[in-house]
Amino acid sequence: MVDEALKPAGLSLVAIDRAAPGRTATIGPYHRWRPSAMPDLETFDRLVDERATRWTEELIEFCRIPSETDQQAPLRLAAEWTAERLRQAGAAVRVLERPDAPPLVIGELGDGPRTLLSQDHYDVQPATPLDLWTSPPFAPEVRGGRLYARGAADDKGEFLFRLQAVEALQDALGKLPCRVRFIVEGEEESGSKHLAAYLADHPDLVEGHGALIEGGGVDEKGRPMLVCGVSGLAYVQLSVRTLAYDAHSGGARLLPNAAWRLVQALATLRGPNDTITIDGLFDHVRRPTEAQLAHLRTLPFEEEEIKRIYSCTAFVSGRTGFEAQVADTFEPTCNIAGIVSGFTGPGEKTITPCEATAKLDLRLVPDLTPELALRCLREHLDRRGFADVAIVPGS
Amino acid sequence: MVDEALKPAGLSLVAIDRAAPGRTATIGPYHRWRPSAMPDLETFDRLVDERATRWTEELIEFCRIPSETDQQAPLRLAAEWTAERLRQAGAAVRVLERPDAPPLVIGELGDGPRTLLSQDHYDVQPATPLDLWTSPPFAPEVRGGRLYARGAADDKGEFLFRLQAVEALQDALGKLPCRVRFIVEGEEESGSKHLAAYLADHPDLVEGHGALIEGGGVDEKGRPMLVCGVSGLAYVQLSVRTLAYDAHSGGARLLPNAAWRLVQALATLRGPNDTITIDGLFDHVRRPTEAQLAHLRTLPFEEEEIKRIYSCTAFVSGRTGFEAQVADTFEPTCNIAGIVSGFTGPGEKTITPCEATAKLDLRLVPDLTPELALRCLREHLDRRGFADVAIVPGS
């Protein structure tokens, strides 16, 4: 959604995460927002100009930490870096700990009758496959006015730009007119396994008058976006085992093949026109209201640009135009994030695989909770005789 | 098939390849065959007893060479080892070469009006996954009277036992009553890509009065087997690409997923009861004759033992008894040897994969040539709108 009150003054340096070229984080002063109720920001603009180079260097330093999902030592380094940077900005910092979990870093700046929350994370997605990176994922490189590194966007870039902006605003105004609380976790990319427990221990952390989610940036045409809602996520692994060990495939007329079993189970989840066919799932999907659809019609949808970026000729189910935009905004997904079974190296090996696994992620919409989605999936598979296909949440 | 004229005297040392525990090669003197037309073999038996330890050591040495499919340097070492061992036995040895191919090793012993061929190979299947080996695949280890190593069976064991037996027979009798020609290749596990070209250059090599195929050994109950025919093989890779690169799975409502595409294509190849549903494939499958079926009924079929070895509760399509035995003997297969797409590491990554591949091996029966099978597969996929799924033979 584009807020027309925001007047972007031009783009110059964009941080790009290679695995998601459509998702960017914009560095520094390049969007000069002028909401009418704000004081004059001449000093702020000057500080931004003076600091832009140093800010980029800070992001490069942050992105050098390979804080991939589940890599405990680098995650801890990234948490310490986050806490230290918040302290430098004058924040009151708390580093919360739980057993077997990366720390939750809290930083508070400013004071006033209202509190703005910023939800961020210092963990990043695994950077594999490495051979697709032009420069290594944890050796940030600026090319053509863009910074390339894992986490440059999603979310080290977004976190740092927010903090740098708040810091500069504080320096320009003398003090902030409100409290800003950063909540920075290390498990966002792996389902935020311990976040609920952290927040249950410290319920005051989520008290506030507004919250920014981790994301942000510009759309395919460079327009800044304000996203007012996002879908949820259920991540599961489907696993099946048919034999004690891989067999020579000369026995394939007799011995059940785990890869075939998984392929057959997965195939029941999707119809011929790529619709999701999990029994009952759409019973829990709230349909968009007329008001929502009317609002959606006012928003741009860069269909051709998205297709160009990914070199894809057609969208899922052959959808185009407003139909595609509605699906993109309001529908759940059932996505195979990965599948593996048997021999996958170069050359040939004639085996009947004993086990097969697939990682599925389901994007969820209002009313469709992870529990409901997984219950639908389990019952769907059981009803079709796939009780042997195990569903392991969050793995 | 069991030849009742063979009287096994007991099993003591069995060579086992971990990936195919049902397939074994029997070392040394433990089957004492007494076909009635053979001369007295007292000297032969004594030589076998004297040499058994050394023969096992030779096999251990041979199995230390990691001559996996497509690993050119170790394949060359294994070819040299093969040639040298044939020379030690007094064979006339030729090492044939072609560009980009492992050598074809030819060794001839004995003389007489008739020639027996022995088709063997010094290459072995890739030993992955390594974590399933109790001892490393190329560090042979004897445990409980069994030798464990990649290639101990299929085919370093079988080749060496044959050569050792021929050598001992020669020493016992003074000379062999016939010519024995070993033809030992290095591409058997990867479709024998250059064998036809080698043989076209040297058509005399296949002139003979009988031939032994590489396999052999004992069945699930320890009975020696003489196999009178085997199925052929077509090995292909199915590949599909839907995007220029992996996308963040937040875009899965729009961006086509290569893993889904491949799963949907594969699912059309197999019916709900695990039957092969490739259009027209069974038009090319010769049905067994009454005589063949009558003969098959005389052969043992160790259904429960096979299920016990692989810890599987039921065979493909729920077949049992003679029905399973007929399928195992006369039907083609369509086996997924491997499948991979997207993120397959530990933890979670939310991507829509841009490409997906599966390795399929089809066991072929008389009349069903590789060309026919692949044409059926291509036409089947095209007819269902999967022209984007590429079929790459032999990869």
DSSP A200: H
Q: How far is B171 from chain A (nearest CA, A)?
A: 37
Determine the number of helices (DSSP H) and then strands (DSSP E) in chain B: 9, 15
Q: How far is B383 from chain A (nearest CA, A)?
A: 14
Residues A142 and A191 both lie in one domain: yes
Does A142 map to a domain? yes
Cα separation, B299 vs B293, in Å, equals: 10
Residues B98 and B173 both lie in one domain: yes
Partner-chain contact B274 A260, CB within 8 Å:
yes
Give me the DSSP letters along B227-283: -----EEEEEEEEEE-SSS-EEGGGTTTSPPHHHHHHHHHHTTB-TTS-B--TTGGG
- pLDDT tens readout for residues B33-85: 444 456 667 899 999 999 999 999 999 999 999 999 989 999 999 999 999 99
Residues B239 and B380 both lie in one domain: yes
Residues B200 and B266 both lie in one domain: no
Cα separation, B333 vs B274, in Å, equals: 11
Facing residue for B312 by CB, picked from A126, A255, A312: A255
Suggest the residue from A130, A316, A348 to mutate for an interface test with chain B (most B CBs closer than 10 A): A348
Residues B132 and B249 both lie in one domain: no
Residues B126 and B81 both lie in one domain: yes
Cα separation, A231 vs A301, in Å, equals: 18
- pLDDT tens readout for residues A284-315: 999 999 999 999 999 999 999 999 999 999 99
Residues B318 and B337 both lie in one domain: no
Cα separation, B355 vs B260, in Å, equals: 10
Does A85 map to a domain? yes
The closest alpha carbon to B359, from A336, A339, A347, A248, belongs to A347
Residues A35 and A126 both lie in one domain: yes
Does A112 map to a domain? yes
Residue numbers of the domain that contains A279: 232-285+331-393
Task: Tell me the pLDDT band of A72, cut-offs 50, 70 and 90.
Answer: very high
Residues A131 and A82 both lie in one domain: yes
pLDDT of residue A1: 24
Segment A213-238 shows an average pLDDT of 83
Does B276 map to a domain? yes
Residues A30 and A148 both lie in one domain: yes
Q: CB neighbours of A117 closer than 8 A, spacing ≥ 6?
A: A181, A183, A206, A208, A210, A211, A212
- pLDDT tens readout for residues A332-387: 999 999 999 999 998 888 999 999 999 999 999 999 999 999 999 999 999 999 99
The closest alpha carbon to A79, from A161, A159, A196, A170, belongs to A159
Partner-chain contact B257 A335, CB within 8 Å:
yes
The residue of chain A nearest to residue B358, with distances taken between CA atoms, is A344
Distances (CA, A) of B366 to B231, B283, B286, B294, B393: 8, 12, 6, 19, 20
Residue appearing with tokens 């549903």: B277
Cα separation, A178 vs A200, in Å, equals: 25
Partner-chain contact B125 A349, CB within 8 Å:
yes
Which CATH number fits the domain that encloses residue A281?
3.30.70.360
pLDDT of residue A14: 40
B139: which 2 tokens? 């560090």
Which CATH number fits the domain that encloses residue A102?
3.40.630.10
The residue of chain B nearest to residue A23, with distances taken between CA atoms, is B248
Residues B37 and B108 both lie in one domain: yes
Q: CB neighbours of B350 closer than 8 A, spacing ≥ 6?
A: A125, A189, A233, A235, A335, A337, A361, B248, B249, B250
Does B301 map to a domain? yes
B7: which 2 tokens? 């009287």
Partner-chain contact B351 A19, CB within 8 Å:
yes
- As for the ipTM of the complex, it is 0.75
pLDDT of residue B39: 63
Q: How far is B203 from chain A (nearest CA, A)?
A: 28
Partner-chain contact B336 A341, CB within 8 Å:
yes
pLDDT of residue B6: 25
Cis amide linkage into residue A155, ω under 30° from 0: yes
Question: What's the number of domains chain A is made of?
Answer: 2
Does B218 map to a domain? no
Task: Inform me whether the C-beta atom of residue A75 falls under 8 Å from chain B C-beta atoms.
Answer: no
Residues A85 and A219 both lie in one domain: yes
